[in-house]
Structure 1
């Protein structure tokens, strides 16, 4: 074979190799796009499925209507420009009934509070209300020009003040605080230097909704562990006392987390015996 023929053959092989490589890359891009599209679609569908499944555990509510009102708060909106009052219609559709002596508030003690509340049917947290339950631990947002609910690429809790989940929890916590009456209990974290944080939802929203004479007592359960750095004399707790409406009495108990967990697991023990 002449050298020119060899060079021509090599060029053809290189050309075929190049075409095959380009084709393979194009197919890979198409496959990835399809997989990503299916994944995102399933994510959106899975979010609604979770919402509806949780909602339907509460009898007497039109869950499809509640879903529609929920979406109206944030779809086709800048995900950093959804204020708490965007959820007003949603809150009105599933109002929180006033509950005396049963509401349990918390700050930086979510795990121990929710574990205790699941095991003992004597307190109710905001996460056990209809709206708190359906959206507990979920992330969502919308975007301008779209009527879809997104579950990825949403702003984080601290990325902007008026992101959809943060505004929702501020709004539903306002309603939860308004529903409090009689004795109110709050579990605060005794393992940190500032158990009462004025910037937390408990400190910035819920406490401000407690009004005398409707609310009579604020009972703090300070959850401590062996090496806790805080006790009931902590200065931040004095800030809590100062923040309470005049006429609301205050008490604080230091209780070991292990005691709360053990008591919560004992069906024979009444709630009052846990601290």
Structure 2
């Protein structure tokens, strides 16, 4: 009887030990999972943003203080951490844009719609014009995803609402606010590259159509040049969508349009001796 009792006690002890080990394992896995999807993603995002910021400053403003990048990170996170990821309005980033004020000089702003690759290739190589993504904040945030959650201090870089899923998600609101501000700060002659290889080069629902074009105001902005980039020289500046663009613009602006082969722009980019004006 004593032997059976001892065996039973040993069995109970073994079962309890096994359960205890399983509980410990579950807790450890939970901590690891939480780290990978919460704190870890926050650290990765922070490292990426700080690194991009420092690289940008080294290349564009070597004498600036590195504290700018820490300020950028702190004011950036205040806009969305702890918030419903579908309830972050563009104005949530006001403090960020007040702290980091960086816009193209007069006559140097290049807008784009459905021409991101060629527009950025042009600005990066020729240095004549600047897109939003060539500014400090635009450069740092380009291609990144982020969001928070209600009553949480964590930052997420996956599982965030898609651009079209809700209109006030943190990423879309950031770009809407930055697009509005760069348009409002644009001065002198402005340029936009539109895709002339599609039926409607000007899309009123694009960022340029919804936000930027409407905010170009005379006399701060003197005029807008449309560069209609085509694969084959068939698109006309008389396209109906471009007529719609002209109706959206401030009627006091000078408007011009040029159809340009993409190959011509690429040739201009590759020739270091060709002046910017010859690209179109």
Q: TM-score range by the shorter chain?
A: 0.7 to 0.9
Query: Which of the numbers 47, 50, 53 marks the counterpart of 1:49?
Result: 47
Matches within 5 A, 1:185-264: 185-226=191-232, 230-264=235-269
Equivalent in the alignment of 1:9: none
Q: Is the 8 A contact 1:193 1:229 kept in 2?
A: no
Q: Answer yes or no: is the 8 Å Cα contact 1:96–1:179 preserved in 2.
A: no
Q: Counterpart of 1:39?
A: 36
Separation in 2 of the partners of 1:128 and 1:182? 18
* Corresponding residue for residue 168 of structure 2: 162
- Find the counterpart in structure 1 of residue 113 from structure 2: 107
CA RMSD in angstroms, aligned pairs only: 2.5
Deviations 1:217-274 (A, max 9, x none): 1100001013x77421111101111111121011111111122122112111111111
Structure 2 unaligned regions, length at least 5: 1-18
Task: Map Cα deviations across residues 169-215 of structure 1 (whole Å, 9 max, x no partner).
Answer: 01011110012111100000112111111111111111111111111
1:272 lines up with 2:272 in the alignment: no
> Equivalents in 2 of 1:32, 1:255: separation in Å?
57
Aligned residues: 256
The 3-state SS of whatever aligns with 1:100 is coil
Task: Kindly provide the CA deviation profile for residues 145-192 of structure 1, in whole angstroms up to 9, marking residues without a partner as x.
Answer: 211211010001100000001000010111100121111000001121
Return the TM-score normalized by structure 1: 0.85
For 1:134, what is the secondary structure of its paired residue? helix
Unpaired runs of 5+ residues, structure 1, are 1-21
Residue 97 of structure 1: how far off its partner (Å): 4.1
Distance 1:255 1:131, change over 3 A: same
Distance 2:104 2:277 in 1: 21
